[in-house]
Every structure is written in C-alpha cells, then in structure tokens.
Amino acid sequence: MTFQLIYTNSYIKRASKSAKKHPELLSQYEKALKILERDPNHLSLRLHPLKGKLKNLYSVSINISYRITLEFFVTEKEIILVNVGHHNEVY
C-alpha cells in the first residue's frame, strides 16, 4: 500500500527554511519521505505517537537529531506533513 503525502503550505514553508538552514540533510530528508510514502512503519523511521500538546501527531526520524511530525489519515491513505526540523524545534 502506498500513502499519499500531503504538503500543506505551512509545511512547505517550514521545510524550505529547514533545507536552507541544513542543506546537508537534503538527501536524508528525501529518503525518509520516500520510505514514509511506501511504508510509514518502516523501522528506520522510528514512527511513534507524540504526547502532551502534540498528542494527535506522530513523529518520524530523518536522522538522530531531525524529525518530521505527521498527522495520519490512514483510512484515506493520506499522511499530512505538519512540521520538520531539529528535535528541539519540532517538539
């Protein structure tokens, strides 16, 4: 099953800002998105639900320090991308 990634305008702005700030992560970021599209439960993404004020969101890893937060609409096979950035920025 393939999921459709939904890029909101706010996500695109955040991703663009993150890419300018950390161009060295671009290949890892693109790889994470491709894996996410194919299999959100892939072990390398370390998918997990968030708690507290972000309790309706999930997080996947780009690498040890950078994350993408997500909102899932599994019944529609869609994944809405919410935020991207350093662990401390996203949470």
Q: What is the mean pLDDT of residues 14-39?
A: 92
The structural domain count of the chain equals 1
Mean pLDDT of all residues in the chain? 87
What is the rounded distance in angstroms from the CA atom of residue 33 to the CA atom of residue 55? 22
The per-residue pLDDT for range 62-82, each reduced to its tens digit, is: 998 888 888 776 567 889 898
Q: Which tokens hold the place of 31?
A: 């790889």
Residue span of the structural domain in which 85 resides: 4-90
Burial of 38 (0-12, 13-18, 19+ CB in 10 A): exposed
What CATH number is attached to the domain comprising 56?
3.30.2310.20
Instruction: Tell me the whole-structure pTM to 2 decimals.
Output: 0.86
The per-residue pLDDT for range 28-42, each reduced to its tens digit, is: 999 999 999 999 899
